[in-house]
């Protein structure tokens, strides 16, 4: 019997699911040979309530999503957070910096009364999460890597060192040398520093490494005449769930 896999979308842009559909043809065939996909709204109409592995995309931003996620957790043997919104709260948590009434008014204007919303939160603020596929969206292939590890009964090996390591390996010139800021020193690698390689900087979509070297980040800022406040602004985009009122 092949394990049954289900994908569920909560509040997000669905880019993580789209990215899953972007896998190499070979990986898709391998995946379909190894598991039965029983729920995946973006690609199939069938639905099943019987599944072993649940992938959760998106953060929880409505009261009704709490019970929905708890029900999925009670069914799934393994629950995986897919993407930044589910793993760390992600961009949805930007609204947590405002009173909810104000956030609703800004987005929906005089129609705000039609919408219910609560402060955004990652999946692990509601239920236990077993594994994470990080990023916004995750890098292509990390999902397959995680599924393969689960099928082998192993813990997926996701890097727990900073983006700077992969950035240096890619031969990039550090953006600090150009007077800009970057979260690479404290953010978890695994993306090959794609944003820096593409001419930008790291916004932190893969979340913090387990033991971020905050002192080192401060030393770098001091060296380049930058302030902590300048970095905190960037940090807000993906990583402020734990820092604002829930």
Residues that bind ligand SF4 (CB under 6 A): 12-16, 57-58, 83-85, 90-91, 135-137, 163-164, 167-168, 172, 174-176, 182, 184-185, 187, 191, 193-196, 201-206
Query: Nearest approach, Cβ of 164 to ligand SF4 (angstroms)?
Result: 3
90, exposed or middle or buried, with CB in 10 Å at 0-12, 13-18, 19+? buried
What are 138's two structure tokens? 């995750």
Q: Are 187 and 206 in contact (CB under 8 A)?
A: yes
Shortest distance (Å) from residue 84 CB to ligand SF4: 4
| Smallest distance, ligand SF4 to C-beta of residue 166, A | 8
Task: Region of 14 please: left (phi>0), alpha (psi -120 to 50) or beta.
Answer: left
What is the maximum alpha-carbon separation in the chain? 60
Nearer to ligand SF4, 3 or 159 (CB): 159
- Region for residue 153 given its phi and psi (left: phi exceeds 0; alpha: psi -120 to 50; beta: otherwise): left
Q: Is 226 left (phi over 0), alpha (psi -120 to 50) or beta?
A: beta
Residue 236: CB minimum distance to ligand SF4, A: 13
Least spacing, CB of residue 109 vs ligand SF4, in Å: 23
The token pair at 84 is 């930044």
Comparison of 3 and 212: residue with beta carbon closer to ligand SF4:
212
Closest approach of ligand SF4 to the CB of residue 38, in Å = 21
In the complex with ligand SF4, the residue whose CB is nearer, 22 or 36, is 22
Select 113 or 171, whichever has its Cβ closest to ligand SF4.
171
- Which is closer to ligand SF4, CB of 15 or CB of 119? 15
Q: Which residue is nearest to ligand SF4 (CB)?
A: 184
- Which lies closer to ligand SF4 via its Cβ, residue 14 or residue 36? 14
Among 119, 117, 84, residue whose Cα is nearest residue 98: 119
Residue 17 half-sphere exposure toward CB, CA atoms < 13 A: 20
């Amino acid at each position: 019997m092949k394990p049954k896999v289900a994908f569920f979308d909560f509040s997000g842009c669905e880019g993580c699911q789209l990215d899953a559909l972007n896998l190499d043809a070979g990986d898709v065939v391998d995946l379909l040979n190894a598991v039965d996909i029983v729920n995946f709204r973006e690609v199939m109409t069938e639905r099943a309530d019987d599944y072993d592995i649940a992938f959760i995309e998106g953060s929880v931003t409505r009261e009704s999503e709490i019970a929905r996620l708890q029900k999925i957790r009670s069914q799934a043997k393994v629950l995986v957070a897919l993407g930044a919104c589910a793993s760390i709260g992600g961009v949805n948590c930007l609204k947590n910096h405002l009173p909810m009434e104000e956030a609703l008014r800004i987005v929906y204007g005089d129609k705000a009364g039609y919408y219910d919303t609560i402060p955004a939160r990652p999946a692990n603020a509601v239920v236990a999460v077993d594994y994470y596929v990080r990023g916004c969206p995750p890098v292509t292939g990390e999902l397959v890597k995680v599924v393969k590890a689960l099928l082998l009964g192993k813990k997926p090996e996701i890097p727990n060192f900073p983006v700077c390591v992969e950035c240096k390996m890619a031969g990039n010139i550090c953006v600090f040398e150009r007077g800009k800021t970057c979260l690479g020193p404290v953010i978890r690698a695994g993306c090959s520093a794609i944003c820096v390689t593409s001419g930008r900087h790291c916004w932190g979509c893969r979340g913090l490494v387990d033991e971020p070297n905050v002192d080192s980040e401060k030393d770098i800022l001091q060296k380049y005449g930058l302030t902590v406040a300048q970095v905190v602004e960037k940090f807000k985009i993906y990583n402020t769930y734990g820092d604002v009122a829930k």
